[in-house]
Structure 1
């Protein structure tokens, strides 16, 4: 896709840092992807993991987190911004019997790239990118008509 024909799409919403807000982030992302005619996998799963992390580890009472989706050219970018810039995420394999702690391991496995951008204080943004091109190796992204 060349620069002249590239369409930039974006969606952004503030959500409460609660389990309900995290579920709503996933549901809203799924609906937006459907409206854009893009496949849900793996973006839906990445949004779910990052939103749960924001609601769990980035929670500050009275401060919402922001979900932003961008599609620029052949890339979907997911950003989740919270107000706990002092708590930076890191991947770490949990104990085999642990009931949580696998979120960023999943994001690392599903995303083509991911990282953390600081600020402005006290915020941080955890982001992940998915390449839409068929050569990216992401199942389902070669056929944009597949909405499963």
Structure 2
């Protein structure tokens, strides 16, 4: 939790995954175009959705598979993304993870990845970049915010 917070993310605990809808509504009350495979969404997204159709997504809520304590990263396989561009195109990203799937190190996380191949990504914090003058920009190349919901 401390690492993810230090890199610009946020962690929210829920007692039950059934609370996800109300929690997301409270966190993002202005989100109108949401994409999710965890609760009813306002935008239908699938692997063949044109990327132009993703441009207006305010919020994506997706299930993560493995959390990494040392760097705050969450493994997000393509099967959980709805569309492989969605986690980087959305304005705000919420990843949902069972806290029992958090490991200490990246080595442990890689050891748990299935050997089936395929695309996936470790996502840690919102997108950010800084120039030589150390001017930090959040959301430069991806989601402007990342919230990890643990249950």
Q: TM-score if structure 2 supplies the norm length? A: 0.28
Q: TM-score if structure 1 supplies the norm length? A: 0.29
